[in-house]
Amino acid sequence: MEIPDDAYEEKMKGVFTYIERDFIRWIRYRVGVISSLVLPAAWLLFVGLALPVQFTGNYLDFITPGILVMTILTAGISSGSLLMFDKMLGFLNKFLAMPVPRESILISKILFITFRGIIQTSIILILATLIGASILNPLQYGMIYLILFLFGVFIAAFSTTVALYLDDHDSFAAFTAMVTMPLFFTSSALMPYEVMPDWLSIIAHVNPLSYAIDAIRDLGTGAIPVVPIGVLAVFAAVIVVISGYVFRKVTV
């Protein structure tokens, strides 16, 4: 069934309005903007430049994809907190009462968090280039942003779905702490598979972060990572559909 043009325009107008609201709120919170860049920048400077390079050659080139994906991960996992605060402060109920499709709220949260993460990764990518990471061609950078976008949508939709089931911010904070660092340290972000213990290599190969990290590394070698990008696209689409179903079920 085709969506009428008026309904589509109304939905997109609602999405852009909610995104604009969240961007204004984010920019006004200057401490949060700066603090979100401190950790990935510290990883680049103190890990990327300090560790030996016996197994990776230019370790900065090796670790930069992992830092980019970690930045998207930490940004994406916070999308649930945005929805939770709106729910706790009563804004969500007011949004749901407005004559705008309720899916606009969910889509706007996912897109806002993803674009926010891409802005943060752009700064990290510039920093990595300034301190010695290899410079790629425009097509490779475009593919990097595609990979980060797909992974960001996947993480943001997953985080939002979890937040719909939790009742308070403390529970969600505990969930993010339990998920974020284990996901990062069990991925291929810090070391190649061949130097990992067997048990860690098995986990890393099925870790969603590794798909994004390995795809970006493949771009650095001149390859086009069609399969990892396809897997990320499927992951993102499936989680968005599930998130939409849960959002409608919970808010009806």
**Residue pLDDT tens, the chain, 252 long:** 445 555 566 667 777 777 787 788 777 776 666 766 777 777 777 666 666 555 556 778 888 899 999 889 988 887 777 777 777 777 777 777 776 677 788 888 888 889 988 988 998 898 888 888 888 889 999 999 999 999 999 999 998 888 888 777 778 888 888 888 889 889 998 888 988 899 999 999 999 899 999 999 999 888 889 998 999 999 999 999 998 888 887 765
Give CA 195 to chain center in angstroms.
27
Q: Which domain holds residue 67?
A: 5-251
Alpha-carbon distances, residue 180 vs 41, 148, 172, 188 (angstroms): 17, 16, 12, 14
Q: Which long-range contacts (CB under 8 A, 24 or more apart) does 179-184 make?
A: 179/77, 180/73, 180/74, 180/77, 183/73, 183/207, 183/208, 183/209, 184/66, 184/70, 184/73, 184/209
- Which amino acid does the sequence have at 71? T
Evaluate whether 80 touches 159 at the Cβ level (below 8 Å). yes
- Which two structure tokens, joined as six digits, stand for 56? 């990776």
- Which two structure tokens, joined as six digits, stand for 139? 């097509």
Backbone angles phi and psi of 131, in degrees to 5: -100, 5
pLDDT of residue 2: 46
How many domains in the chain? 1
- Which amino acid does the sequence have at 153? V
pLDDT of residue 1: 42
DSSP 172: H
**38/26 Cα distance (integer angstroms):** 16
